[in-house]
Amino acid sequence: MLKLIAGAATLAVSALPPAHAEPGQAIRVLVVSGGCCHDYPRQRELLERALKERMPAEVNHVYYDPKPGEKATRPALPIYANPHYADGYDVVIHHECAADEDSAEALDAVLAPHRKGIPAVNLHCAMHSYRSGAWKQPVKAGDANARWFEFTGIRSTGHGPQSPIRLSGAGNGHPIADGFVSYSTGRDELYNNLTSFDVTPVLTGVQPESAVEAERAKVYTVAWTHTYGPKRARVFSTTLAHNAAVMADPRYLDLVARGVLWAVGRL
């Protein structure tokens, strides 16, 4: 059963002790989700069960699923007013889709734990969140509208039609990809890669069956790692799994679990 933290209840996490993912102890995971375009209740269930099957983990959730008539691309996530939302956790999984949330104050709160060194895992639409200004135009490190991209590691501005993605290891021996065997996903979105902020690729993807012929040979990084902020927090990101059917694939869940373990130094 999902353990859920919603609304003002998230403030209570600030009373927990500092996070340290010590060997043998359960990894304390906070999943942030909600917003536009995805079956978040189902995906929350898949993520929690998969993590607990693959590692000793305590999983909690903070979320906001917009109600009919609300602007789903700007979910009222309770973390926005609480820079201490991740206190006591070993890692935060960002699985929100907040494409139109452009408040600098909200972004300050979201990034605060990671600037203090708490590791992160970013999934799918997290890469298309917290966009502001002319975000489709080139950005560079230090720009006001590059702050979220500096955290995720790659600036992505869109994707083509849904189609199976053929996945391959990046060929650099990254430990997250150890034992990875290439496979094709179900119908999914292949995010473009524009500005990169010193990332190490883990997996690449191509859509040979895309409905757009010009897109069929384009290869993009779909999973990567890097470090962020003054404390060099470990960050793993993957753009895969728009649909719950893709997320439910054990191979995808293995990838996410290995990303979590890498982020907390337990791989």
Pairing of strands 183-188, 163-169: antiparallel
Identify the helix (H) or strand (E) that includes residue 252: helix 250-263
Quick check: is 191 in a domain?
no
Q: Which residues contact 137 (CB under 8 A, 6 or more apart)?
A: none
Q: Give the number of domains in the chain.
A: 1
CATH number of the domain encompassing residue 93 = 3.40.50
Quick check: is 213 in a domain?
no
Quick check: is 53 in a domain?
yes
Query: What is residue 74's three-state secondary structure?
Result: coil
pLDDT at 1: 38
Quick check: is 173 in a domain?
no
Quick check: is 55 in a domain?
yes
pLDDT at 243: 96
CB contact at 8 A, 122 and 202: no
pLDDT at 21: 65
Q: Is the pLDDT of residue 10 over 70?
A: no
pLDDT at 63: 97
Quick check: is 210 in a domain?
no
Domain that holds residue 81: 4-157+222-263
Q: pLDDT of 162-211, one tens digit each?
A: 999 999 999 999 999 999 999 999 999 999 999 999 999 999 999 999 99
| pTM of the complete model beyond 0.85 | yes
